[in-house]
Structure 1
């Protein structure tokens, strides 16, 4: 039996992966009851409680998650499975990938010692994170090293948000928000959403969750300004480093500072600033920093686009860090046209990166 093999070969530093579809409930029960988790350091599980047609078995999922928590495992990452999206609710999926880690390093844990000694072990944690070095160090990097640093940086978490919630569509169009009390929007609140492409699911979910005023921007829709709902205003306007008519597409674009002025938000806190503007972020963000417009922002959500990584991209990411923003979540855009094959893993040209201002 496979459980006997695990017990035999395990040395307490193992990773257990469970991806068994509709057998999830049965296998997780077996793993918990037979003590297999006692030898595991990490657990990766594809939880599948229900199906797209019948819905989600929330109670069964919560019972197992509670047992895993009581066994000492803590979730450090999650990813929705797109094939499990519910037929009657495109904002929910019956299938989620969860990555967990045991709350103590097992190789350091000595079960013969007292609890206070275990607490000491728990505190032996490296709280540092990856940062972008100074100009002198960056100038010594070759193109391959620049790209590797860029990817590592965008996929490194710098601060812990305990409750990350998905608002809007599970697929492209929805975004995550840090819902921790210190960072979540509270009334009166304001959200700017750049890049809509006719998908207002995130903007509508923001209103439903927080009752914020939401201003949505997208010149590519070629639609005149209108009020979509009680708290949502659409603007036929894009974000850039100048206020002008963008020559390539004849779109009207503006700096964030000028938009603040035009909408009467010069001194108003922007609780969430979402930017998905197809590589225009690389010219817009430096202007936001230079003009001080970014100072008003509490949460910054950006999709970074780079099929070819430049040194300038690292400078801009470092400047965001220097403004006090820390990454709490990221998401690789899995669209086929964005995939770049790496040596061991697939990378993407588009990363959704989520920041909170500390």
Structure 2
């Protein structure tokens, strides 16, 4: 665990120095919070992926079971979360990523691995194939999944609207 955090320390320092600089054109506290190490009750808490916006705080990503299913809603331009989760899980997981912009997932497609599945669609409160949007429940049906081992969501503030009709299918976790 110590080595894992040590490897990220230089990036964290650089990000904090840049953010706290008087010349910084900051518009939000997001980058500042991303550089901090979170405090939560988890003996194996780890920031997986970039220490900036692309990474996410997770609890014991090393304990993911064999053949685990990961859903990553909202890929964005930074795929370090997906790549590092794959590495940390020792390639045991299959990662299903979703983003409405097909260009953002192209780097995952370019890996040519059957362990990465990218689908260009928007996660929404209602499925509408004409608009390339689906609910999480319909995506799970499409892939014949009854359970998700790890669920990452980063869909730029649309969390409540996305799950207003059905909620997050908690029986799937």
User: Which residue is equivalent to 1:240?
Assistant: 124
Query: Are 1:280 and 2:161 an aligned pair?
Result: no
User: Which residue is equivalent to 1:195?
Assistant: 74
Contact 1:162 1:180 (8 Å CA) reproduced: no
Q: How many matched pairs?
A: 144
Pair 201,223 (structure 1): closer, same or farther in 2 beyond 3 Å? closer
Pair 171,245 (structure 1): closer, same or farther in 2 beyond 3 Å? same
Query: Are 1:261 and 2:141 an aligned pair?
Result: yes
For 1:284 and 1:270, the matched residues in 2 are separated by 18
For 1:168 and 1:223, the matched residues in 2 are separated by 16
Cα distance, 1:199 vs. partner?
A: 1.6
- Hey, which of these two has a bigger chunk of helix by percent? 2
Structure of greater relative contact order (alpha carbons < 8 Å, 6+ residues apart): 2
User: Which residue is equivalent to 2:64?
Assistant: 185
User: Which residue is equivalent to 2:83?
Assistant: 204
What is the root-mean-square deviation in Å for CA atoms of aligned residues?
A: 3.4
Structure 2 spans left out of the alignment, 5+ residues: 1-5, 18-34
Contact 2:72 2:96 (8 Å CA) reproduced: yes
Q: TM-score, normalised on structure 2?
A: 0.68
List structure 1 runs of 4+ shifted beyond 3 angstroms.
80-85, 96-100, 221-229
SS at match of 1:173: coil
For 1:209 and 1:197, the matched residues in 2 are separated by 21
Structure 1 spans left out of the alignment, 5+ residues: 1-47, 56-79, 86-95, 101-156, 298-358
Q: TM-score, normalised on structure 1?
A: 0.35
For 2:120 and 2:38, the matched residues in 1 are separated by 41
Cα distance, 1:286 vs. partner?
A: 3.3
Match of 2:100 among 206, 216, 219: 219
For 1:189 and 1:215, the matched residues in 2 are separated by 11
Cα distance, 1:187 vs. partner?
A: 1.0
